[in-house]
Chains A and B, each alone.
Chain A
Amino acid sequence: MRLERKQREYWYRNLKITGLLLAIWFVVTFVVSYFARELAEFSVFGFPLGFYMGAQGSPLVYVAIIWWYARYMDKLDREYGVDDGE
């Protein structure tokens, strides 16, 4: 019974971080691109911001998202005493 609760908690926390990271992914992909024309007025490293996000900004955020997820889940595994087929 106690394990049952622990399982649900693990899954719930996994869903929460997944949802949060997917929201970030959605914003840097679709919201930023949608406003690319407006963002062209700002400039970073000589690029218009909209162009920069498409060419470098968003892909770098993607790597960060995946890195963070792997790290968070590793920590979660340790916290719940999980040894996933190592």
Chain B
Amino acid sequence: MADYAVSLRRYYAYYTVTFFIVILALAVLERHGMPPRWIGYSFLFLTLFLYATIGVLARTANVSEYYVAGRRVPAIFNGMATGADWMSSASFMGLAGTLYLSGYQGLAYVMGWTGGYVLVALLLAPYLRRFGQFTIPDFLAARYGGNLARLVGVFATVLASFVYVVAQIYGVGLITSRFVGLQFEIGVFVGLAGILVCSFLGGMRAVTWTQVAQYTILIVAYLVPVTILSYKVTGIPVPQLTYGHVLQKVRVLEDKIFRDPGEIDARRVFRERADAYYERILTLPDSLAEEDRRLSLRIEDLKKNNAQMRDVVALERQRADLPKTVDGAHGYWESLMRQAAQRGAEPEHHVTAFPGEPGEVGNTERLNFLSLVFCLMVGTAALPHVLMRYYTTPSVRDARRSVFWSLLFILALYLTAPAYAAFAKYEIYSNLIGSSIAQLPVWVTAWGKIGLVSIEDVNGDGILQLSELALNPDVILLATPEIAGLPYVISGLVAAGALAAALSTADGLLLTIASALSHDVYYKIYRPEATTQWRLVVSKALLLVVAVLAATVASQKPASILFMVAWAFSLAGAAFFPALILGVFWKRANPAGAVSGMVVGLSVTVYYMVRVQFDGIPWLGLHGIGMEPWLGIQSTAAGVWGVAAGFLTTVVVSLFGKPPSQETQEFVESVRYPEIVR
């Protein structure tokens, strides 16, 4: 065992050194005129080739190797694999931008996505490892005696994981299309190939060892640009320590920029726009026809005066975008009104917590912050693809240690994300805002071309004001190398890191879905007499089917998918958390209680999300189902209600029913107490 760990460490040390040499070599080649596109290709194909090699070397036909990597992953490596498994393309690309855009409020993600591991360590990982089976539904079935609990568990696993995996593949499509110039749909299928080479032949064993490799790449890619930026701005290459002072400088800049007359004027224009949209909504349906006529007239006008083709096309697109129905126009203009109103509102300081008036508004913000933190934490402690990783350690002791390593490796990214936001804000506020729109830096126009940055000189003074700049959250991370004036090889590195983050999470999720379907449904319920060989065949076939399905959905570019990822946490939390926790810590919880608790928790969460978020679901024929949120809590934190309802239902129904059987009581004891003591 010890030898195994030592040689693993040596392999990965060689591997890391090689990786650095490759980066240096590419940097030298860039100096000698290698075009950026080729650097992008090199990173894409070299890393994919690497993952494929590990995937093929780790192929296996053994059930225990396939589902839980033979239960011999040392704690530190399991920690790295969990880190890569955990940090998705949303953490890698989106988090820094979210922090940039929402300041203190964005810290809910930093706290939520790290604090959840306290729950994993104290309440779940050691007990699941002592139980020592293959999946989370396995535990539910063993504790709550039967296939009903297992099936509900499988349903919730697939529901929470599938949306999540689609978002990862979508992320791969974005990265490949941005950096390598592949078409989005082709990028999606390149990503699919990348995912399959890791998981298809070797299951959990191959996924584990590629995830360790992917962790190294993603963390190096995340830390390098901001470290260099920190060195340039402050002279100290430790961004996590220096950004406090940068935030103080940002505060001074904010005071100046917020009070700038041009900025105040631009905000006024946006507020007037919001009012105009409001007017239109009030005068529906006449205003829709009126708007169509107005645009047509202007297009005619422009054409007559031989105006620039670009302006005509822009107006024509505006006309084509007009909704066809009154309901559609209502929603369309309402969202435009909200956007305009938001841009016209007084901006908030980056570090201010709950900036609303310290009356009702500020309190709602605080409540939303706290409930989002709660949902993200509980969701972290309930997402099956994370919990499954703690089945793979050699012992309970290693499972406990491994949670420590997991969080330590995860923190390397999460402690850096706020620094990214701070440095980007400092650069943008001090160099970009207030400069002439005719002479913007190259990165602004380059990312503007694919719609991640948009600039509109609403007050027509030729100067860029803060409210005239709109940024997509992803751009903060992707553009930092260019903002810092670094060579293209660093951008390529960031792309490789983003790819590693998306692929590693997708691998873990896909394997979780395939295991739930093949192990829990096919083997445990449908055909318990199936041979081990046949079980693996079914599992691999399902893996392929689910992967292709996910890639097909992703290639449709579903607009709301990224938004729905935040929902996965609430869904998983509401479905699993009460049943798992009470399963270990409350012997009296019985099957009827647990199953009804899971169903009620899940239903309440879905009900709340759908009604708060959507006013109608056309393809189901539902209209006018929107409702006011309870206590002003947003749909992303719907799990607050679901988890509470789940706990309450489980306890009440259990108390009304019979206590669980002697056999179940003994099972709980076997999970609580170590072997030798018994």
A interface, CB within 8 angstroms of B? 3, 6-7, 10-11, 14, 18, 21-22, 25, 29-30, 33-34, 36-37, 40, 44-48, 50-52, 54-56, 58-60, 62-63, 65-67, 69-70, 73-74, 77, 80-86
- CB pair B111–A3 under 8 Å, yes or no, is no
Tell me whether B369 is interfacial, beta carbon within 8 Å: yes
- CB pair B408–A59 under 8 Å, yes or no, is no
The answer for the CA separation of A59 and B117 in the assembled complex, in Å, is 10
The answer for the CA separation of A67 and B407 in the assembled complex, in Å, is 10
Tell me whether B373 is interfacial, beta carbon within 8 Å: yes
A34 to chain B, nearest CB (A): 7
Tell me whether B499 is interfacial, beta carbon within 8 Å: no
Q: Which of B121, B404, B673, B676 contacts A81 (CB 8 A)?
A: B676
- CB pair B675–A85 under 8 Å, yes or no, is yes
The answer for the CA separation of A9 and B230 in the assembled complex, in Å, is 52
Do A66 and B395 contact each other (CB < 8 Å), given the known contacts A29-B111, A83-B676?
no
Tell me whether B293 is interfacial, beta carbon within 8 Å: no
Contact with A along B475-491 (1 / 0, CB 8 A): 00000000000000000
Do A73 and B400 contact each other (CB < 8 Å), given the known contacts A21-B118, A50-B104, A84-B395?
yes
- CB pair A56–B415 under 8 Å, yes or no, is yes
Q: Which of B351, B407, B408, B415 contacts A51 (CB 8 A)?
A: B351
Do A67 and B366 contact each other (CB < 8 Å), given the known contacts A37-B353, A54-B104?
no
Instruction: Identify 21 residue pairs between A and B in the complex whose beta-carbon atoms are under 8 Å apart, listed by A's number.
Output: A18-B122, A21-B118, A25-B115, A40-B351, A46-B245, A47-B244, A50-B104, A54-B104, A55-B107, A55-B110, A55-B415, A56-B415, A56-B418, A59-B114, A59-B415, A65-B121, A66-B403, A70-B397, A70-B404, A84-B675, A84-B676
- CB pair A69–B675 under 8 Å, yes or no, is no
The answer for the CA separation of A50 and B104 in the assembled complex, in Å, is 9
- CB pair A63–B404 under 8 Å, yes or no, is yes
Do A58 and B111 contact each other (CB < 8 Å), given the known contacts A18-B122, A70-B403?
yes
Residues of chain A with a CB closer than 8 A to B268's CB: none
- CB pair B123–A59 under 8 Å, yes or no, is no
Do A67 and B404 contact each other (CB < 8 Å), given the known contacts A54-B111, A82-B676?
yes
The answer for the CA separation of A60 and B411 in the assembled complex, in Å, is 8
Tell me whether B331 is interfacial, beta carbon within 8 Å: no
- CB pair A69–B121 under 8 Å, yes or no, is yes
- CB pair A56–B111 under 8 Å, yes or no, is no
Sort chain B's interface into a size bin: 35 or more
A59 nearest in chain B by CB position: B114
- Nearest 7 A-B pairs (CB), nearest first? A46-B244, A54-B107, A36-B353, A84-B396, A82-B674, A70-B400, A59-B114
B408 to chain A, nearest CB (A): 6
The answer for the CA separation of A34 and B107 in the assembled complex, in Å, is 13
Contact with A along B653-678 (1 / 0, CB 8 A): 00000000000000001001111111
Residues of chain B with a CB closer than 8 A to A58's CB: 111, 114-115
Residues of chain A with a CB closer than 8 A to B408's CB: 63
Interface centre among B118, B123, B404, by most chain A C-beta atoms within 10 angstroms, is: B118
The answer for the CA separation of A6 and B673 in the assembled complex, in Å, is 10
- CB pair B122–A45 under 8 Å, yes or no, is no
B647 to chain A, nearest CB (A): 15
The answer for the CA separation of A67 and B672 in the assembled complex, in Å, is 20
Tell me whether B538 is interfacial, beta carbon within 8 Å: no
Q: Which of B111, B118, B240 contacts A33 (CB 8 A)?
A: B111
Interface centre among B107, B108, B394, B678, by most chain A C-beta atoms within 10 angstroms, is: B107
Q: Which of B362, B400, B414, B676 contacts A37 (CB 8 A)?
A: B362
- CB pair B411–A63 under 8 Å, yes or no, is yes
B109 nearest in chain A by CB position: A54
B229 to chain A, nearest CB (A): 17
B75 to chain A, nearest CB (A): 9
Q: Which of A10, A52, A63, A83 contacts B675 (CB 8 A)?
A: A83
B353 nearest in chain A by CB position: A36
Residues of chain B with a CB closer than 8 A to A59's CB: 110-111, 114-115, 411, 414-415
The answer for the CA separation of A34 and B212 in the assembled complex, in Å, is 37
Among B529-561, those with CB < 8 Å from A are none
Residues of chain B with a CB closer than 8 A to A66's CB: 117-118, 121-122, 403-404, 407
The answer for the CA separation of A78 and B240 in the assembled complex, in Å, is 38
- CB pair B107–A51 under 8 Å, yes or no, is yes
Tell me whether B130 is interfacial, beta carbon within 8 Å: yes
Residues of chain B with a CB closer than 8 A to A30's CB: 370, 373-374
